Amino acid sequence: MNKYKANPIKFFVMKLLFLITILFVTLMPVSAEDSLYERGKDLVKQKDYEKALKAFELASDIGDLDAMTAVGVMYIGGIGIQQNDEKGLEYIKNAAKQSHPKAQYTLGAIYYLGVGVPSDFKEAFSWISLSANQGYLDAQHNLAEMYETGKGVSQNLEKAYEYYILAARRGNLDSQIKVAKMYKEGIGTEKDMSKSDYWLKKIEESKVKSQ
Q: pLDDT tens digits, residue range 66-91? A: 999 999 999 998 888 999 999 999 99
Span 32-51, mean pLDDT? 84
Q: What is the pLDDT of residue 192?
A: 98
Contacts of 106 (CB under 8 A, 6+ apart): 18, 22, 23, 69, 72, 73, 92, 96
Higher pLDDT, 34 or 41: 41
Domains 13-98 and 129-211 share a fold: yes
Q: What is the pLDDT of residue 128?
A: 97
Q: What is the pLDDT of residue 34?
A: 54
Is the full-model pTM beyond 0.85?
Answer: no
pLDDT at 163 over 60: yes
pLDDT, tens digit (0-9, with 9 covering 90-100), for 181-202: 999 999 999 999 999 999 999 9
The ranges assigned to domains in the chain are 13-98, 129-211
User: Cα–Cα distance between 96 and 82 in angstroms, integer?
Assistant: 23
Least confident among 12-21, 24-33, 95-104, 157-166:
24-33
Task: Report the mean per-residue pLDDT for the chain.
Answer: 86
For residue 193, the tally of other CB atoms under 10 A from its CB is: 9
User: Cα–Cα distance between 187 and 42 in angstroms, integer?
Assistant: 44
With 0-12 / 13-18 / 19 or more C-beta atoms within 10 angstroms meaning exposed / middle / buried, residue 56 is buried
Backbone angles phi, psi at 206, to 5 degrees: -65, -40
Note the Cα 8 to chain centre separation in Å.
18
Task: For the domain made up of 129-211, give the CATH fold.
Answer: 1.25.40
The second-level CATH assignment, the architecture, of 13-98 is Alpha Horseshoe (1.25)
